[in-house]
Structure 1
């Protein structure tokens, strides 16, 4: 009998030991789960804080860039306004100079029969300019002698015209 009793005690002892080990394993798993959950919660909080800081930095950077763009837009608008006013002033000065030149030419170079309107003068000038462009376009670099002869002939015509103008000025 003794033998039987010792077998029963051994099995009972074994079962008790297994239960204690199971309990310890369950307690360890629960502690590890708690630690993992706490670590995940801390990491989530750190991630959320980092995301919030990055969002704030991004928002601040965007606001600074928008302000900078507004300042640059204002500077561009101011520059355009200044350029427009200068262009308007230059246009007026050019018109004044053209009128003054027209009066000067009418007064000094033409007799009463040769006074032309500004439109006629512009037309004549455009025609002469067009003629000169055609003349220079027709000569190639290989034909510089012919170009020289043509310019010499034009100079002679201008000298003759100047003599005529001087004579006409004396009559006026």
Structure 2
């Protein structure tokens, strides 16, 4: 498995962990129970929502922005789509980052191992709504600087997307 992108002295896993920790704290402050999972997902992991947070990269360093995808195979596609919409809307509003082209949503995103119960034992339960967000491009100095200098802003966008999906009142519970 690839360790991910790196640029500007940052490895992708470092940025991912930074964003995950900030997001978890914000969600917990809003009363949501959060599990930060290791790379090996517990067998048939079940939750009200599963969000995998990543930073993207491209070899040419030309792309920037964020994108969100759901599992390619899903037993709850309407729920997955609602989670994806909530994340797109709230992350974009919080961060001001541009939305990357859907043409850049890769097979690795939609068939991400944690979603892929057909191929992997260590994957989420079929009934768990899921999404993967590429929060910005490590290879874009603008995106990377934003993600590393303002991880709490990016985390707020993800957390608000999850809260919206969980139907919590954004007016009173928005971060």
TM band (smaller chain)? under 0.3
Larger Rg: 1
> What is the TM-score with the length of structure 1 in the denominator?
0.24
TM-score, normalisation: structure 2: 0.24
Question: Whose helix proportion is higher, 1 or 2?
Answer: 1
Structure with larger RCO (C-alpha < 8 A, sep 6+): 2
